[in-house]
Amino acid sequence: MSRVRCTALFAVIASVACATVDESSVVPTYTAIRVDATQVFARVGCGARDGQAYKYFAIVNETNQSGVFDCYADAIFQLNPGDYTIALRVFDQTHWAAAAATGVGPDLADPLYQSACTAVAWDRSIATASCAVAGVGDAGLGADGAGDASAD
């Protein structure tokens, strides 16, 4: 094979091997649920003012997996396929600072309000939880945790 043909063949092979992949078509190799922070805090906003979501504590009731997330960050939990309920305890900066000053964890601290989400996790997919849209003073979203999930 001539040197020109060999170089051309190598260029074709290299361009095929380095092709980009559309990530939207890639099937995840794990199962997870996601709490969409943008949807949950659409009414109250995200920030450092009193009454705005600052941080939130999310716990998957069926597994006790939990975490603290900034108001702009989605909560993602890797789980087995199944039905799940996620409890949210939402803090503004004042409530978060008070909890930190007393050393009380976010699972026991006094939140600004509580809410809830539900999700069905399918095998090798990332399901977005259906959550009650948070809003201080909304019926069913008070500090007593009586929120219930609403359909998108």
Mean pLDDT (the chain, rounded):
79
Between 65 and 11, the higher pLDDT residue: 65
Residue 147: what pLDDT?
38
Q: Is residue 102 within a helix (H) or strand (E), and if so which, with residue range?
A: helix 93-102
Sheet strands (E) in 36-81: 55-60, 65-70, 75-78
State the Cα–Cα distance between residues 5 and 78, nearest whole angstrom.
49
Amino acid 36 reads D
Q: What share of the chain has pLDDT > 90, as a percent?
A: 53
Long-range contacts of 62-70 (CB under 8 A, 24+ apart): 66/107, 68/106, 69/35, 69/37
Cα distance between residue 80 and residue 83, in whole Å: 9
User: Is 105:70 a contact under the CB 8 Å cutoff?
Assistant: no
Average pLDDT over residues 141-152: 37
Is pLDDT at 28 greater than 80 in this prediction? no
Whole-number pLDDT of residue 133: 76
**Domain ranges (residues) in the chain:** 28-131
What pLDDT shows up at residue 145? 39
Of 1.10.357, 1.10.3470, 2.40.30, 2.60.40, the CATH number of 28-131 is: 2.60.40
Quick: pLDDT tens for 54-103.
999 999 999 989 999 999 999 999 999 999 999 999 999 999 999 999 98
Least confident of 2-6, 40-44, 45-49, 117-121: 2-6
Both tokens of 7, joined, read 């170089």
